[in-house]
Structure 1
Amino acid sequence: MAGLKCGTVTEPGKCEAKVLCTVEAPGHCVLSSLAEVVERILSFLPSKDLLRAACVCRLWRDCVRRKLKARQHLAWISCYGTCVSSDQPSGHSFLQVVKEELEKIYILPDTVLYVNQIETFSGHDRRGPINARRKHELQSTALKLKKLLPPNCQILGLATPGLVVTPMGSGSNRPVEVEDEEAGFALILPKMNGVKIKKFRFYRDSVCKAFDESKLQEAGLKNNPDLRFVLVFGCNTWRDETARFLQEVLNALNEKGVIIAGGQVEYTLSYSPESKVPGSRCVGVVGLAFYGSQIQGASILLEEDAYDERTVDAAMHRLKAANIPEENSVGFMFSCVAKGEEYYKKHNVEADSFRKHFPTVPLLGFFGNGEIGCDRVVSNNFILRECNSKEDNLLHGYTTVMAIIHFGTTK
Structure 2
Amino acid sequence: MEEPTEKRIRKTSTGSENDGTSYESYENPMDSNIYLTYDILRIVFTYLNGMDLGRAAMVCRLWLEAANHEKYTRGPDCFIEHYLHFTGKTRCIEKSNIKPAIGFFFIPEKIPTNIKGWIRDTLPQNCKAIMLYTSGIIINKEEIEYKAFPNIVCALLPEAPNVKINSAILCTEYAARTYQHEFSLSLFEEHKKKLIDMIDETLIPNHDESTCLIFLCNDLKGAKMATLLASAIQEYSGEDRITSLWGGVVDNIIFSRPYEYCIAVLITGSIQSWSIVVDRRCSTKEQVIKRLRLFKNQVKLKKHSVGFMFACKARGCGMYDEKNVESTIFKTLFPEVPLVGCFGNGEFGKNTMPIDEMDKKIEGKKDWYNQYSTIFMILTYG
TM norm. shorter chain > 0.5: yes
Q: Could you tell me how far 1:32 is from its partner in structure 2?
A: 5.3
The alignment status of 1:217 with 2:206, answered yes or no, reads: no
Figure out how many residues of one structure are paired with residues of the other and give that number.
Answer: 337
C-alpha distance in 2, partners of 1:113/1:222?
24
Deviations 1:257-281 (A, max 9, x none): 2111111011113453xxxxx23xx
- Contact kept? 1:327, 1:361, Cα under 8 Å: no
C-alpha distance in 1, partners of 2:276/2:88?
32
Given the alignment, which residue of 140, 164, 177 partners 2:143? 177
- Contact kept? 2:106, 2:132, Cα under 8 Å: yes
Q: Could you tell me how far 1:309 is from its partner in structure 2?
A: 1.5
Q: Which residue of 2 aligns with 1:37?
A: 40
The alignment status of 1:290 with 2:273, answered yes or no, reads: no
The alignment status of 1:161 with 2:152, answered yes or no, reads: no
> Helix, strand or coil for the counterpart of 1:321?
helix
Q: Which residue of 2 aligns with 1:62?
A: 62
> Helix, strand or coil for the counterpart of 1:347?
coil
Change (3 A) 1:221 1:266: farther
Structure number with the higher strand fraction is: 2
Deviates more, 1:298-307 or 1:346-355: 298-307
Q: Which residue of 1 aligns with 2:168?
A: 200
- Contact kept? 1:326, 1:361, Cα under 8 Å: no
Deviations 1:13-69 (A, max 9, x none): xxxx9x9996xx3355356553332332232222333355567x64xx731553145
Normalising by structure 2, report the TM-score: 0.78
C-alpha distance in 2, partners of 1:74/1:324?
16
C-alpha distance in 2, partners of 1:384/1:97?
49
C-alpha distance in 2, partners of 1:36/1:361?
30
- Contact kept? 2:77, 2:97, Cα under 8 Å: no
- Contact kept? 2:246, 2:275, Cα under 8 Å: yes
- Contact kept? 1:42, 1:50, Cα under 8 Å: yes
C-alpha distance in 1, partners of 2:201/2:57?
41
Q: Could you tell me how far 1:77 is from its partner in structure 2?
A: 4.0
Larger Rg: 2
Q: After TM superposition, what 4+ stretches of structure 1 lie above 6 angstroms from structure 2?
A: 19-22
C-alpha distance in 2, partners of 1:346/1:191?
38
Q: Could you tell me how far 1:220 is from its partner in structure 2?
A: 2.7
The alignment status of 1:231 with 2:214, answered yes or no, reads: yes
Letter in 2 for 1:161: S
Q: Which residue of 1 aligns with 2:250?
A: 265
C-alpha distance in 1, partners of 2:280/2:89?
36
- Contact kept? 1:156, 1:287, Cα under 8 Å: no
Deviations 1:333-363 (A, max 9, x none): 1111121112200110000110111111011
Change (3 A) 1:38 1:76: closer
Given the alignment, which residue of 298, 306, 309 partners 1:330? 306
The alignment status of 1:253 with 2:254, answered yes or no, reads: no
**Cα RMSD for the two superposed structures:** 3.2
Normalising by structure 1, report the TM-score: 0.73
Deviations 1:350-391 (A, max 9, x none): 0011011111101111100111113224xxxxx54899x964
Q: Which residue of 2 aligns with 1:169?
A: none
Letter in 1 for 2:116: A
Q: Which residue of 2 aligns with 1:48?
A: 51
Q: Which residue of 2 aligns with 1:347?
A: 323
Change (3 A) 1:222 1:54: closer
C-alpha distance in 2, partners of 1:76/1:262?
20
